[in-house]
Amino acid sequence: MPSETRLGFPNLGLGVGLRHVHFSHILETWPNVDWFEIISENFMDSQGRPRDILDQVAERYPVVMHGVSLSIGSTDPLNHDYLLKLKKLAGEINAVWVSDHVCWTGVAGKNSHDLLPIPFNEESLSHIVQRIKTVQEVLERPLVLENPSSYITFQDSTMSEWEFISRMSEEADCGLLLDVNNVYVSAYNHEFDPYEFLQSLPHERVVQFHLAGHLNCGTHCIDTHDGRVIDEVWALYKKAHELTGGVSTLLEWDANIPSFDEMHAEVLKARDFLAEKEVEELNTSDQTATDQTNSVPHPINYYVGSEAE
Amino acid sequence: MNEQTSRSLQSLQTWLQSVITHPNGVSAGILGAQDHITLTPEEIESVVPASSQLDSISKIEVYGNAYYARLIECLGEEFPAVKHALGADTFDSFAFSYLHQFSSTSYTLSDLGRQFPSFLEQTKPSDAGELGWADFLIDLARLEWHYSEIFNGPGTEKIEALTSENLQSLTPEQFTMCRLVPAPCLRLDEFRFPIHEYATAVRKKHESPPLPAPTLTRLVMTRRQYVVRRVAVSEAEYCILQELVNCTDESIGSILDRAAEHWGNEMQEHLQEWFERWAAAGYFVGLESLTR
């Protein structure tokens, strides 16, 4: 598929998230991984070791910036200080693209540090489209937005999530980060057909896929990023690949993080699934849990590494 | 799905945030958020529909539970020695109260613990007399916050610090006309306990040291090669360093002359050794003329 259909963004291959527990391994081995994704907020203010390591990584690998604090759906004003820092970091590390989520994280000056859902209606669509345009003007590049996992819907919604996201991306002329695991989790929680979600998107706007593990609590799923990708999600990934022609794919693993090699091997399974090969250690079911109170949706996304000698 | 929205996006967001951050849970949050959306917990389906598997309150509780769990975990990562000293359950209880009083207003979790040391100070039992457990925790939290700031803040890794030779070759003119420019990562602080030893035992050695006896402890903290370093120094060395760092309109010579009057023999005996150590540790990164 020509790169123009991806807002000019290339297919980077199969990447993994840059996580602090792997810093030493990466510096020692410079692993043969296609690309890295960073959590923007973990690096945008760092003037210490995290930033030094990012600079070294960015010299050797394509790097994509993935944020969790843009709060594009919030009714609070956009934080221009944050946007300028985002733009500065993107320029300094030559980020291939910048992404965040279709969500809001706080209102009235507060930040929940969660990816909170928005109602899918005309008011929120108009609001978010206008803000995406503003952000793209500031960043001077297309914004790429991800469908988050969600645990509630609103009576105020007047359209499906996929209709909302499709219209949003067309009207704002932005890219999409299709998190296949999030589609599965939200479909489970809200009882819709995940394949209808995939089928209905403007596929030419999908710039990137996310894969991750989640926790199945029986009554609902929680997007925990703490394990392997289950077969049902791999099946959705395969369908998404067919529909889009294939785009950059990244595995998120943010809790109970295994060794770098094990994490990398998980995303490399994508090649086997797409080639319809038999994959060892197939995950035939979700992780299950009876106690959901300790399960935190999606990553903490926070690096504390200060040590003293 | 409704055909028309019945509430503004802003009121819905303000309502949801208020509900999921309520310290007494979602149902209490719904009752406490009547200013934003008037309804009882029984009427919640008019805002958030249930699924066939999960009722509306339980769905919202996924966000409510995650809010405190996520941020308490972050604070625990930021203050591991304090968490160790308090024990996980007590720390979580303190962190919960802190988060209720100091909601995050920053895009970055790096700012989340900024007011935690002062929160511990404010919530210290008023009848506490002699130095004790609470004071130790307050000092420990302050130290760990210093570590976080130094770790992620500006450092000297990409700039040349003044060497021992630089300092020893200062001319008389430079002594009287210049000040030393401190490294941006240099911090000085006084503590009532030797909390640095406790913190190192917990954070690096994973030990469980006993509560140390009160001892006035003066620490100089900095960062070299991206690692935070700290050293306990004498009162004289601390005070002279403090003057050199803080007196931005006074020359090196003037500060040392004044210090000599106060510290006399101790200063004479140790000053060269101190300068060598300060140089080796990269405490100063340049000379700044005061005549500019």
For residue A309, pLDDT over 80 is answered with: no
Q: Report the DSSP beta bridge partners of residue A36.
A: A16, A63
| φ and ψ at residue B191, rounded to 5 degrees | -130, 160
**Residues of chain B found within 8 Å of residue A293, distances taken between Cβ atoms:** 65, 69
Sign for the CA dihedral angle at B169, B173, B175, B181 comes to negative
Query: Cβ contact (<8 Å) for A220 and B106?
Result: no
Query: Cβ contact (<8 Å) for A113 and B109?
Result: yes
Q: How far apart are CA B288 and CA B283, in angstroms?
A: 14
Q: Which amino acid is at B79?
A: F
Q: How far apart are CA A138 and CA A122, in angstroms?
A: 25
Nearest to A308 among B5, B154, B200 (CB): B200
DSSP B103: -
Question: What is the per-residue pLDDT for A8?
Answer: 87
Q: How far apart are CA A278 and CA A280, in angstroms?
A: 7
**Residues of chain A found within 8 Å of residue B73, distances taken between Cβ atoms:** 296, 300
For residue B36, pLDDT over 70 is answered with: yes
CATH architecture of the domain with residue range B154-289: Alpha-Beta Complex (3.90)
**Residues of chain A found within 8 Å of residue B48, distances taken between Cβ atoms:** 152-155
Query: Cβ contact (<8 Å) for B148 and A306?
Result: yes
Q: How confident is the model at residue B3 (pLDDT cuts 50, 70, 90)?
A: very low
Q: How far apart are CA B215 and CA B195, in angstroms?
A: 9
Q: Determine which helix (DSSP H) or strand (DSSP E) holds A239, and give its type and residue range.
A: helix A231-244
As a residue count, chain B comes to 292
- A296 or B103, which is more confident: B103
Domain ranges for chain A: 3-288
Q: Which amino acid is at B160?
A: E
Query: Cβ contact (<8 Å) for A112 and B17?
Result: yes
**Residues of chain B found within 8 Å of residue A77, distances taken between Cβ atoms:** none
Asked whether A33 and A19 are in contact (CB, 8 A), the reply is no
Cα angle value B73/B79/B85 (rounded, 5°): 105
Question: What is the per-residue pLDDT for B131?
Answer: 81
DSSP B43: G
Locate A248 and state its tokens: 């950059």
Query: Cβ contact (<8 Å) for B228 and A190?
Result: no
DSSP A256: S
For residue A163, pLDDT over 90 is answered with: yes
**Residues of chain A found within 8 Å of residue B229, distances taken between Cβ atoms:** 308-309
Sign for the CA dihedral angle at B129, B131, B137, B142 comes to positive
Locate B270 and state its tokens: 């140790």
Q: How far apart are CA A132 and CA A128, in angstroms?
A: 6
Cβ pairs A/B, distance under 8 A: 201
Q: List the single range of A98-102, A109-113, A157-161, B285-289 with lowest mean pLDDT.
A: B285-289
Q: How confident is the model at residue A299 (pLDDT cuts 50, 70, 90)?
A: very low
Rounded to 10°, the helix B9-20/B56-78 angle is 60
Q: How far apart are CA A103 and CA A72, in angstroms?
A: 6
**Residues of chain A found within 8 Å of residue B70, distances taken between Cβ atoms:** 113-114, 296, 300
Interface test with A, best of B19, B67, B107 (most A CBs within 10 A): B107
Nearest to A308 among B7, B71, B229 (CB): B229
**DSSP helix/strand/coil, A136:** helix
Q: How far apart are CA A79 and CA A70, in angstroms?
A: 8
| Euclidean distance between the first and the last CA atom of chain B, given in angstroms as a whole number | 69
Exposure on the CB side of residue A190, measured as CA atoms within 13 A: 26
**Residues of chain B found within 8 Å of residue A306, distances taken between Cβ atoms:** 144, 147-148, 150-152, 228
Q: How confident is the model at residue A285 (pLDDT cuts 50, 70, 90)?
A: low
- A4 or A205, which is more confident: A205
Over residues B209-258, the pLDDT tens digits come to 999 999 999 999 999 999 999 999 999 999 999 999 999 999 999 999 99
DSSP A164: H
**Residues of chain B found within 8 Å of residue A74, distances taken between Cβ atoms:** 13
Residue listed under structure tokens 């200062």: B170
Please check whether residue A49 touches B, CB under 8 A: yes
For residue B115, pLDDT over 90 is answered with: yes
Please check whether residue A124 touches B, CB under 8 A: yes
* Long-range CB contacts (within 8 A, 24+) of B22-26: B22/B64, B23/B96, B23/B100, B25/B61, B25/B64, B26/B57, B26/B60, B26/B61, B26/B64
Please check whether residue A114 touches B, CB under 8 A: yes
Q: Residue B234 CB: number of other CB atoms within 10 A?
A: 13
Sign for the CA dihedral angle at B156, B158, B164, B167 comes to negative
Locate A247 and state its tokens: 């785009």
Q: Report the DSSP beta bridge partners of residue B187.
A: B221
| φ and ψ at residue B139, rounded to 5 degrees | -65, -40
Question: What is the per-residue pLDDT for A139?
Answer: 98
- Whose CA is closest to A71, among A82, A61, A60? A82
Cα angle value A196/A199/A204 (rounded, 5°): 150
**Residues of chain B found within 8 Å of residue A156, distances taken between Cβ atoms:** 2, 5-7, 12, 47
Q: How far apart are CA B90 and CA B102, in angstroms?
A: 18
For residue B2, pLDDT over 70 is answered with: no
**DSSP helix/strand/coil, A64:** strand
Q: Determine which helix (DSSP H) or strand (DSSP E) holds A272, and give its type and residue range.
A: helix A260-274
For B184, the closest chain A residue by CA position comes to A47
Q: How confident is the model at residue B164 (pLDDT cuts 50, 70, 90)?
A: confident
Number of H-type helices and E-type strands within chain B:
12, 5
Question: What is the per-residue pLDDT for B76?
Answer: 97
Chain mean pLDDT for chain B:
92
Please check whether residue A21 touches B, CB under 8 A: no
**DSSP helix/strand/coil, A24:** helix
Rounded to 10°, the helix A231-244/A260-274 angle is 60
Residue listed under structure tokens 């291939």: A96
Q: How many percent of chain A have pLDDT more than 70?
A: 87
Q: How confident is the model at residue A293 (pLDDT cuts 50, 70, 90)?
A: very low
Query: Cβ contact (<8 Å) for B67 and A109?
Result: no
Q: What is the mean pLDDT of residues B110-122?
A: 96
Over residues B46-67, the pLDDT tens digits come to 999 999 999 999 999 999 999 9
ipTM of this predicted structure:
0.91
Residue listed under structure tokens 């920053």: B106
Nearest to B157 among A52, A110, A302 (CB): A52
**DSSP helix/strand/coil, A31:** coil
Over residues A217-259, the pLDDT tens digits come to 999 999 999 899 999 999 999 999 999 999 999 999 988 999 9
Domain ranges for chain B: 9-122, 154-289
Q: How far apart are CA A296 and CA A114, in angstroms?
A: 10
Q: How far apart are CA A117 and CA A147, in angstroms?
A: 10
Q: What is the mean pLDDT of residues A181-194?
A: 97
- Whose CA is closest to A210, among A193, A227, A233? A233
Please check whether residue A50 touches B, CB under 8 A: yes
**Residues of chain B found within 8 Å of residue A218, distances taken between Cβ atoms:** 53
Q: Report the DSSP beta bridge partners of residue A251.
A: A16, A211
Q: How far apart are CA B119 and CA B244, in angstroms?
A: 31
Q: How many percent of chain B have pLDDT more than 70?
A: 96
Interface test with A, best of B6, B9, B19 (most A CBs within 10 A): B9
Interface test with B, best of A103, A154, A223 (most B CBs within 10 A): A154
Shortest Cα–Cα distance, B44 to chain A (Å): 10
Question: What is the per-residue pLDDT for A57?
Answer: 98
- Whose CA is closest to B164, among B280, B287, B273, B285? B280
Q: What is the mean pLDDT of residues B23-43?
A: 91
Range A3-288 classified under CATH 3.20.20.150: yes
Query: Cβ contact (<8 Å) for A304 and B78?
Result: yes
**DSSP helix/strand/coil, A98:** strand
Question: What is the per-residue pLDDT for B4?
Answer: 47
- Whose CA is closest to B150, among A44, A47, A42? A47
Question: What is the per-residue pLDDT for A274?
Answer: 78
Over residues A59-70, the pLDDT tens digits come to 999 999 999 999
For residue B201, pLDDT over 50 is answered with: yes
Query: Cβ contact (<8 Å) for B71 and A222?
Result: no
Locate A220 and state its tokens: 């609902």
**Is residue B237 classed exposed, middle or buried when 0-12, 13-18 and 19+ CB atoms within 10 A define those classes?**
buried
Query: Cβ contact (<8 Å) for B63 and A151?
Result: yes
